[in-house]
């Protein structure tokens, strides 16, 4: 997907994750599948290892540092005393179908907003070809399950209704903004565990990878100094904030602004943005739209500038 400024990718997620594991193994990592971390070894107020369970066998791996990349509500983070709990109101419930036999354009991503379609979130159609796409949505504070909203959404769209479902993914995405503290003695948190996910889009793969690289760099430096103390690992948080902190906070502000708007106001903004975008803007139209917008919507738009 290539826009005027950005290039994005639609992934085959299972293959993508598999290849990451292969690359890690080829680089010398010991990959352990079907292995569950059920506790941390904490000595002298510092994380010194992980208790693991694989095929019913329990064992301890001692180490100098742990990277908690265990996803939403990170238990590993909590075991180390970091607050990774997400407010229920700030957790989106997501459902996504892979669908074939639908009419989509492989270069066009579709987004749908509104309280009827996806309250507190949005619906998406991310094409993987001209008749195949990931069709999903995320919702918050809603009174029906995400799957029900998704089925209703698909039934309401002529170009999707006739499709067949070939895959289903469901899960939560935390849109609260990053956790307050992402490091402690002998541990750093990365990705959804640290709530690095963009609060506006719910996209977390890119940020998780970017912060994973930063964590790796900081841990190598810590190894060279042989210092995995909290003071030493604070550098990780400083660097990830420098890399994505402003973008996350901006998305959080926009998300909070959008929450205050009703569907009619969203339509007005979409109309305004599309007219501005395609260069056919008539100043009289813009003025008219602005005159009709309530003060809080104008304030919200000004906040975007």
Report, in Å, the least distance between residue 224 CB and ligand FAD.
Answer: 26
Q: Which is nearer to ligand FAD, 120 or 191 (CB)?
A: 191
> What is the number of the residue whose Cβ is closest to ligand FAD?
204
Report, in Å, the least distance between residue 172 CB and ligand FAD.
Answer: 7
Q: Which is nearer to ligand FAD, 212 or 269 (CB)?
A: 212
Q: Which is nearer to ligand FAD, 173 or 248 (CB)?
A: 173
Report, in Å, the least distance between residue 181 CB and ligand FAD.
Answer: 17
Report, in Å, the least distance between residue 139 CB and ligand FAD.
Answer: 11
Residues that bind ligand FAD (CB under 6 A): 36-37, 69-71, 75, 94, 96, 136, 169, 171, 173, 191-193, 197, 202-206, 208
Q: Which is nearer to ligand FAD, 252 or 269 (CB)?
A: 252
Report, in Å, the least distance between residue 52 CB and ligand FAD.
Answer: 8
Report, in Å, the least distance between residue 303 CB and ligand FAD.
Answer: 24
Q: Which is nearer to ligand FAD, 34 or 284 (CB)?
A: 34
Q: Which is nearer to ligand FAD, 163 or 191 (CB)?
A: 191
Q: Which long-range contacts (CB under 8 A, 24 or more apart) does 72-75 make?
A: 72/171, 72/172, 72/173, 72/174, 72/192, 72/193, 73/174, 74/189, 74/192, 74/193, 74/194
């Amino acid at each position: 997907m290539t826009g005027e400024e950005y290039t994005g990718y639609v992934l085959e997620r299972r293959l993508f994750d598999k290849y990451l594991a292969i690359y890690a193994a080829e680089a010398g990592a010991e990959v352990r599948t079907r292995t569950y971390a059920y506790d941390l070894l904490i000595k002298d107020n510092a994380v010194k290892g992980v208790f693991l369970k694989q095929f019913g066998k329990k064992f301890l791996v001692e180490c100098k540092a742990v990277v908690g990349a265990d996803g939403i509500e990170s238990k590993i983070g909590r075991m180390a005393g970091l607050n990774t709990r997400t407010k229920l109101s700030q957790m989106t419930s997501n459902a996504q179908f892979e669908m074939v036999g639908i009419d989509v354009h492989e270069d066009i991503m579709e987004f749908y907003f509104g309280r009827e379609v996806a309250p507190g979130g949005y619906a998406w159609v991310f094409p993987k070809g001209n008749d195949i796409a990931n069709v999903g949505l995320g919702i918050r504070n809603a009174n029906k399950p995400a799957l029900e909203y998704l089925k209703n959404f698909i039934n309401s769209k002529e170009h999707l209704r006739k499709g067949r479902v070939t895959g289903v993914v469901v899960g939560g995405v935390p849109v609260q903004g990053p956790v307050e503290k992402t490091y402690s003695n002998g541990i750093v948190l990365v990705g959804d565990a640290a709530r690095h996910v963009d609060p506006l889009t719910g996209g977390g793969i890119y940020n998780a990878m970017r912060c994973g690289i930063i964590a790796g760099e900081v841990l190598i430096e810590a190894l060279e100094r042989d210092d995995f103390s909290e003071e030493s690992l604070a550098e990780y948080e400083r660097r990830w904030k420098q890399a994505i902190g402003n973008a996350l906070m901006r998305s959080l502000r926009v998300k909070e602004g959008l929450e205050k708007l009703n569907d009619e106001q969203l339509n007005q903004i979409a109309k305004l943005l599309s007219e501005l975008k395609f260069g056919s803007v008539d100043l009289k139209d813009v003025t008219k739209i602005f005159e009709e917008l309530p003060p809080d919507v104008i304030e919200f738009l000004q906040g975007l500038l």
